[in-house]
Amino acid sequence: MNLNQIVTDLSYFLPELILTAVLLMVIIFDLFQKAETSIRAGYLAIGGLALVTLALFGQDVSAPQGIFSNMLAVDGFGRYFKVVVSVGAMLVMWMSLNSNELKNRRVGEYYVLILVLVLGMFFLVSATHLLSIYISLEMVSIMSYLLSGYLKEQMRSNEASIKYVVFGAFSSGILLYGFSLLYGLTGSASIFEIQAALSAGAISPVLLLLILVMVLVGFGYKIAAVPFHFWTPDVYEGAPAPITAFLSVAPKAAGFAIIIRFFNVAFSSSGNPNMEAWSALENMNWQAVIGLMSVLSMTVGNVIALQQSNIKRMLAYSSIAHAGYMLLGVVVADQTGISAILYYAAIYMLMNLGAFFVAIHVKNAFDTEEIEDYQGLGYKAPVLGVIMAIFMFSLTGLPPTGGFVAKFYLFRALIEYGDLYFWLALIGLVNGVISLYYYMRVVKAMYFGKMEIPETVHNAPLNITILLVILAVPLLFAWMVGDPLSAYTQDAVHFFIN
Amino acid sequence: MENHLLSIVTFLPIFGAVVIALVPREKLNWIRWGAAAITGLQLILAIWILKVFDFSTPEVQLVEHYAWIPDFNIEFFMGIDGLSAPMVLLTALLSFLAVFTSWNIEKAQKGYFALFLLLDAGMMGVFVSLDFFLFYIFWEVMLLPMYFLIGIWGGPQREYAAIKFFLYTLFGSVLLLLGMLALYFISEPHTFNMLILAEQSSQFGKGLLLGMNAGKVIFILLFVGFAIKVPIFPFHTWLPLAHVEAPTAISVILAGVLLKMGTYGFLRISFPILKEAAIWFALPLAILGLINIIYGAMAALAQRDLKKMVAYSSVSHMGFVLLGMAALTPAGMNGAVFQMFNHGTISAMLFMLVGVVYDRAHHRDIEGFGGIAKVVPIYAGVTAMAFFAGLGLPGFSGFISEALCFIGAFPVFTWITIFATLGIVLNAGYFLWAYQRIFMGELNSKYENLEEINNRELFALIPLAIITFFLGVYPTPMLNLMSSSLNHLVEVVKSAGMVAGL
């Protein structure tokens, strides 16, 4: 690889370069700020990310490229997730500006850490080489550990961070071991060459199963799928609330991106996810294993969520269930399945961030995270109540909200596949009914029970209200004429193939 | 405007809900009269629809047909035929009258009427949709306002009743969704259009789903979805609770309109689209109908709570509908749909009357009254009439439709029909026994000063009473309205059965 090639490749790397420049700028800018004014770094970071997002939209991905010796891919699929992640990061930073937990402390590096996390996810969603996958995964993980322990003086935040580190180190160790086996067996670390070597055959099925399990441990932990979910509730409860919101959405989406890319290239029969449909490698039925993981995630997540009384823990368990729904799309190795996941990831980001943000504001204003204490919120704070109800309905998947449309596309993909996945669809839908119960507990607390119209209604600050409206409105109109997001996700299923 | 009558009649209440949401909450009269005006206008439109409706053909009419989500061939497709026309009228009529029953709602009136209008729009949408996806959206949209209406304005156990109602019906809905998607993918080209699906009926019997006949599997999925709404034993346990806890007007809507959606679903979707499976399932359906009739009546007999008794009477009365439609004969089918309409008007009256006495006495214990006919003669008279209509006395519409169901079912399910007639006796039993305990005998001294039924309440009741009486004496207009569509339905289902050799 010569220097000229690197320079050409850099032109495909513009969003990442801008992001790097922004994060360096924020670090330097923060040096000149006092603790009280360090929040300005947040505004700078949001502005920078907006620029990055623009650069992403400006990027030409019509001809997918591999850059830096095919370490990274620049394609429609990767770009979609980069947009999701950076929009999510902007929204979370916006909410962080209002967070009480982060008041009265230096927050410059907080925003820097989020930016680095975003950069890590940019790499992760486009990685096509075992090394780039592992490094970017670690980059995401380490930033997540740091951010969940950001409230240094709080025991729970420390606990969250430590638990996260222990689980994370353990699972990435196993992932690395799996990778080393793969490399040893195939003699290559590029996922394309791995696919070629594996599909040539002559590898023992037992070994393949071992590799599959090890890879799934590493990736499954990132998306918090059962049985790799044990860290989730404690980390989500202890971390600063905006970070919890972010962790439940962005790294999860990035984790799905790498699962989709890795499995549908390295472990598929054709190695080409740009075809209409394909199947798993012979001797390695990962579709069945992921199907099982999906059923477990949905069921365990939902059943445990039923018993939670703290809203953050409830949302944590429900996020496990949502990972299960999204895994359903992975099981169907075809384009409709993948575009359904892309759709779900975007809608899920809106509704889950929304629910967390309401919870954060309620904590700021009324100092509680218990669902019981939402009693009468619908009357005390009518705007907040209605918006929260929309998020809850959407998370349940009730029409006419975006959550329904997202689920509809997923189950449509499953049933289209035929008889085989009908049971999976049934289990998924029944899980939706279970989730109704705990999401409605929030609505019930807000509206049912004793009603007293207070003298003065509580209104969230204007900027929070605007933020919540931005999140809620697309959910209400997602299904309207034409559904532009659906068209966009279908275009985005476009992979780089070596 | 005539081309868009159905969208207007459906979306008018949504417009009304938005307007009401903008009215300041102190302007109580604006809110109430606004709701009355919107539903009144809707009723006028519904009558207009019947006026332009040509009941001599089974064709769907007043069609509105547009592409909606072209990628998935989802259409905005509305139209009515002889099956939906009576339901449109019933929905508009009961919504209008229920506004007056809601006059004395005590808290958060603005939210109440806005949600009520949303519910109205959802119900109307279900009855006019001819695209399965659109139908499903309306079917689900209805759940949200219902959940709030029971949960906020209901009785002491309202929270439990609301979530139970929601869980049951959502469970039914997801099965409906599965069945809907299975139909979509078996049809070629993929479509949600109910009329095209019905044309492709023979396709569904051929494929396999879960290793069984696809048509039968889908039929069962849809059956459970609809059965929960009807409700058919053993899916009925949400009903007594929801009916009892809901405020009066919402009980009226629940019994009057929502229950009809289940049976409407059978006739609109399951029967015409899955004809062979419908014939295969006719006998079980008739047996379930019989269980509903007898079990509902026995349970009603055992109640001390007047509202619960009326709720169980609904279970019993919906059994006649099932029996009539299972027979797949013109008489049975006409009887079934006629019974749907009649049960709508009669049960609405019954729930309104229960509401009247509850507002005054603050309890509904049948044993807790006694002799009040002396104090409130007009109320006693109206109740007597409604009870007689409920027990199917000749001269009231319920008699005609129940008789038609029996006439239609007798040649096909002779023994079942014979046992089902026992239901009539039991019906008479609990209605008369309850009447006796409440109105006759020694006057309970607590109720010496019981207030007589007022004009507003009478205003809501009298139109229903007139309709019940009129259709009991002269049912032809209503039967004409629906018979050509229903006879056609029976014919196509039967002939598909012949072809399949059933």
Domain map (residue ranges) of chain A:
3-492
Q: Quick check: B108 contacting A, CB < 8 Å?
A: yes
Flag the least confident range among A34-43, A248-257, B341-350. Answer: A34-43
Contact B171 A433 (CB under 8 A): yes
Flag the least confident range among A408-422, B43-57, B120-134. Answer: A408-422
Q: What is the pLDDT of residue B211?
A: 73
Q: What is the pLDDT of residue A1?
A: 60
Q: What confidence category does residue A468 fall into, taking pLDDT thresholds of 50, 70 and 90?
A: very high
Phi first, then psi, for residue B238 (nearest 5°) are -75, -25
Closest CA to B263 of B116, B81, B127, B423: B127
Flag the least confident range among A475-489, B27-41, B305-319. Answer: A475-489
Closest CA to A264 of A283, A253, A278: A278
Number of domains in chain B: 1
For the cut 90, the answer to whether the pLDDT of residue B90 exceeds it is yes
Residue B253 CA to residue B116 CA, distance in Å, equals: 10
pLDDT digits (tens, 9 = 90+) for B410-438: 988 889 999 998 888 999 999 999 998 88
Q: Quick check: B141 contacting A, CB < 8 Å?
A: yes
pLDDT mean over B123-150: 92
Q: Quick check: B188 contacting A, CB < 8 Å?
A: no
* pLDDT above 70 coverage of chain A, percent: 99
Contact A415 B159 (CB under 8 A): no
Closest CA to B262 of B222, B204, B299, B219: B222
Q: What is the pLDDT of residue A451?
A: 67
CB B236 within 8 A of CB B169: no
Closest CA to A246 of A126, A115, A433: A115
pLDDT digits (tens, 9 = 90+) for B273-317: 988 888 889 999 999 999 999 999 999 999 989 999 999 999 999
For the cut 80, the answer to whether the pLDDT of residue A37 exceeds it is yes
- B-chain CB neighbours of A445 within 8 Å are none
Q: What confidence category does residue A139 fall into, taking pLDDT thresholds of 50, 70 and 90?
A: very high
Q: What is the pLDDT of residue B439?
A: 87
pLDDT digits (tens, 9 = 90+) for A63-120: 888 888 888 999 889 999 999 999 999 999 999 988 888 887 888 889 999 999 999 9
Q: Quick check: B34 contacting A, CB < 8 Å?
A: no
- A-chain CB neighbours of B17 within 8 Å are none
Flag the least confident range among A265-274, A428-437, A473-482, B249-258. Answer: A473-482
For the cut 80, the answer to whether the pLDDT of residue B499 exceeds it is no
For the cut 90, the answer to whether the pLDDT of residue A460 exceeds it is no
Contact A448 B143 (CB under 8 A): no
Q: What is the DSSP letter of B255?
A: I
Q: Is residue B430 part of a domain?
A: yes
Q: What is the pLDDT of residue A447?
A: 87
Query: Searching chain B, which residue's CA lies closest to the CA of residue A443?
Result: B148
CA distance A385 to chain B (A): 13
Mean pLDDT of chain B: 89
pLDDT mean over A222-240: 88
Q: How many CB atoms lie within 10 A of CB A462?
A: 8
Residue A438 CA to residue A42 CA, distance in Å, equals: 35
Residue B288 CA to residue B322 CA, distance in Å, equals: 8
Q: What confidence category does residue B157 fall into, taking pLDDT thresholds of 50, 70 and 90?
A: confident
Q: Which of A411, A414, A444 to mutate to test the interface with B (most CBs of B within 10 A)?
A: A444
Phi first, then psi, for residue A483 (nearest 5°) are 50, 75
User: Which of the given ranges, A5-19, A455-469, B116-130, has the highest pLDDT on average?
Assistant: B116-130
pLDDT digits (tens, 9 = 90+) for B389-409: 988 888 899 899 999 999 999
Residue B374 CA to residue B273 CA, distance in Å, equals: 55
Q: What is the pLDDT of residue B53?
A: 87
Q: What is the pLDDT of residue A481?
A: 61
Q: What range does the domain containing B303 cover? A: 286-502
Residue B308 CA to residue B305 CA, distance in Å, equals: 5
For the cut 80, the answer to whether the pLDDT of residue A449 exceeds it is no
Pick from A398, A433, A444: CB nearest B151: A444
Query: Searching chain A, which residue's CA lies closest to the CA of residue B68?
Result: A481
Q: Quick check: B71 contacting A, CB < 8 Å?
A: yes
Strands A72-74 and A65-67, how do they pair? antiparallel
CA distance A149 to chain B (A): 38
Flag the least confident range among A8-12, A160-164, A199-203, B164-168. Answer: A199-203
Q: Quick check: B160 contacting A, CB < 8 Å?
A: no
Q: Quick check: B163 contacting A, CB < 8 Å?
A: yes
Contact A399 B136 (CB under 8 A): yes
Closest CA to B243 of B321, B166, B147, B161: B161
Q: What is the pLDDT of residue A478?
A: 78
pLDDT digits (tens, 9 = 90+) for A389-429: 999 999 998 888 889 989 988 998 888 877 778 888 889 99
pLDDT mean over B237-249: 90
Half-sphere exposure of A495 (CA within 13 A, CB side): 26
Pick from B159, B181, B182: CB nearest A448: B159
Q: Counting Cβ atoms within 10 Å, is residue B358 exposed (0-12), middle (13-18) or buried (19+)? A: middle
Q: What Rg do the C-alpha atoms of chain B give, in angstroms? A: 22
Pick from A393, A398, A448: CB nearest B151: A448
Residue, of A228 and A283, whose pLDDT is higher = A228
Contact B166 A430 (CB under 8 A): no
- A-chain CB neighbours of B71 within 8 Å are 483, 486-487, 490
Q: What confidence category does residue B2 fall into, taking pLDDT thresholds of 50, 70 and 90?
A: low
Q: Supply A280's token pair.
A: 């798993």
Contact B208 A393 (CB under 8 A): no
Interface of A with B (CB under 8 A): 393, 398-400, 404, 408, 411-412, 415-416, 418-419, 422-423, 425-426, 429-430, 432-433, 436-437, 440, 444, 447-449, 451, 453, 479, 481-483, 486-487, 490
pLDDT mean over B115-142: 92
Q: Which of B177, B187, B220, B228 to mutate to test the interface with A (most CBs of A within 10 A)?
A: B177
Q: What is the pLDDT of residue B261?
A: 92
